[in-house]
A = this chain, B = another copy of it.
Amino acid sequence: MDASDQSAAQQCAAAKAAAPALARASRELKDAALMELAESLERRSAEILAANALDLAAGEEAGLSDALLDRLRLDRSRISAIADGAREVARLDDPVGELLEERELDNGLHLQVLRAALGVVAVVYEARPNVTIDAAGLCIKSGNACVLRGSATAERTNAVLASVARDAVVAAGLPAAAVTLVGGGREQLAELATQKGIVDLIIPRGGEGLKAALEAVATVPVLYAASGNCHVYVDRSADLADAVAIAVNSKVQRPGVCNAAETLLVHRDVAASFIPLVARELLAAGVELRVDEAVRGFAGPELAGQLVDAVEADWETEFLDLIMAVRVVDSLEQAIEHIALYGSGHSEAIVTADEAAADEFRHGVDAACIYVNASTRFTDGAVFGMGSEIGISTQKLHARGPIGLRELCTIKYVVTGDGHVRA
């Protein structure tokens, strides 16, 4: 039970042995585990906070930034929010066993396509200890054993949280190894990432460094939660008041997340009226604007002193900050080309009153989420009605967009005959 007694490979093998019981667990059993998890998080909050205080003290001593310490910090209200998240997952439909297709084949065979658990899902994450519970909850509900590998800085907090989750699954009659926490070292990461045939999927939640570390070693399939270089394109026919609101919301409402917009593209025909309007609003919201020459011209002399000249790298950058690149384009086609060249395939918005332009954008832009007359900030599993998610995927295979319960599953063809043989 104690992570330190076993290698990561041994722990993964134990998770694999636990996987069939999870894959076949009823909805009632899984929801009971989730509700018990929520209750005991609140019941054991003193124990959790004591461990968290030790991690915080060690982090302060090690000189962690205030931002990192804040991510690491739990309090009673944060614990309640985590517990509510588990209750929310319990309320979601069970994806396992969902009948996706059913038909009688010409030869009389009965074919069903059923959703099925993947098996063992590993989640690798950084400072935030809430991910320990969020990831465990989604894996339990999707019928997967999970292997969790958090940050060394949250080691004590994660150990208590994982033990709460483990106790909850055991209380529901499921095997303890269904929730397995491995150590936070680089060696353990490499060991985890190479358990091909044991671990079915690894999902990293973290920055580019973590992704690069995984890409270098992983033999297990990896589902990358995405970075987002998202655009708002204001078409010649746009309602300019809507366009201002959408551009400002996409950038400012929460600039540090992947579905915030980084670049604003403006059709030349509306640039003269739109750019001064939007620039004033964005500047007032504290946004640094990195603009091309045309934008500078349209902004006029009054604003010119507050604008920064964009360089090539600005079009490629996910600022995750109150910085926005702005460019004038000559056409919808040029906007689509710009997005194809620089976008990361996450969330792309057009503001337009022209249905033909909207359709051109919907079909011509290759991204997980396309918005017409709405902010890019809506890309989110809960907002989309998919429940909690473990991140947003920009890859095209397996899962594109929010990674929720269904995306943690595979399928199975079940074919029933009556002594059928092939002629």
A interface residues, Cβ below 8 angstroms from B:
20, 23-24, 97, 103, 105-107, 109, 111, 116, 118-119, 200-201, 221, 223, 239, 241-242, 245-246, 248-250, 253, 340, 358, 362-364, 366-375, 377-379, 383-385, 395-398, 400-401, 410-422
Contacts and interface: CB of A to CB of B under 8 A. Distances in A.
B373 A418 contact: yes
A249 B242 CA distance: 66
Contact of A400 (B23, B245, B362, B411): B411
Q: Which of A105, A396, A415 counts the most chain B CB atoms within 10 A?
A: A415
Contacts of A223: 397
A341 B394 CA distance: 34
Nearest to A108: B374
A370 B414 contact: yes
Contacts of A371: 415-417
B419 A373 contact: yes
A396 B374 contact: no
Given A111-B384, A363-B24, A400 B412 contact: yes
A368 B113 CA distance: 10
Contacts of A418: 242, 373-374
A40 B72 CA distance: 66
Given A364-B24, A396-B119, A410-B400, A378 B419 contact: no
Identify whether the interface residues of A are mostly helix, strand, loop, or mixed.
mixed
B109 A374 contact: yes
A397 to B, nearest CB: 4
A142 to B, nearest CB: 13
15 contacts: A97-B363, A103-B385, A118-B397, A239-B419, A245-B419, A249-B422, A250-B421, A358-B416, A369-B415, A371-B416, A372-B415, A373-B420, A378-B415, A378-B422, A400-B412
B105 A374 contact: no
A222 B20 CA distance: 27
A244 to B, nearest CB: 10
A397 B410 contact: yes
A20 B372 CA distance: 20
Contacts of A24: 363-364
Contacts of A245: 419, 421
Contacts of A242: 418-419
A368 B415 contact: no
A52 to B, nearest CB: 30
A414 B379 CA distance: 10
Contacts of A383: 105, 107
